[in-house]
Amino acid sequence: MPSSKKPLVVVTRKLPEVIEARMGELFDVRLNADDHAMTQAELAAAIKEADVLVPTVTDKIDAKLLAQVGPQLRLIAQFGTGVDNVDVESARRRGITVTNTPGVLTEDTADMTLALILAVPRRLAEGARFLRDSEGEWPGWSPTWMLGRRIYGKRLGIIGMGRIGQAVARRAKAFGLEIHYHNRKPANAVIEQELEATYWENLDEMLPKVDIVSVNCPHTPATYHMINTARLRLMRPDAYIVNTARGEIIDENALIRALEAGELGGAGLDVFENEPKVSPRLIKLRNVVSLPHMSSATVEGRVEMGGKVIVNIKTFMDGHRPPDRVIPAIM
Known catalytic residue: 30?
Answer: no
* Catalytic site residue from 171, 219, 293, 302: 293
Residue 325 DSSP label: B
Known catalytic residue: 225?
Answer: no
Label the pairing between strands 288-290 and 266-269: parallel
* Catalytic site residue from 20, 194, 263, 275: 275
Contacts of 132 (CB under 8 A, 6+ apart): none
Cis peptide bond N-terminal to 276, omega within 30: yes
Known catalytic residue: 320?
Answer: no
CA distance from start to end of the chain: 30
| Edge-to-edge strand ranges of the sheet holding 178-182 | 198-199, 178-182, 155-159, 212-215, 240-243, 266-269, 288-290
Q: What angle do CA 30, 4, 45 make, to 5 degrees?
A: 30
Q: Are 187 and 197 in contact (CB under 8 A)?
A: yes
Q: Give the burial class of 157: count Cβ atoms within 10 A of its Cβ; 0-12 exposed, 13-18 middle, 19 or more buried.
A: buried
Per-residue three-class SS string for 2-16:
CCCCCCEEEECCCCC
The alpha carbon of 123 is separated from its chain's Cα centroid by a whole number of angstroms, namely 23
* Catalytic site residue from 246, 248, 252, 302: 246
Residues marked as catalytic: 246, 275, 293
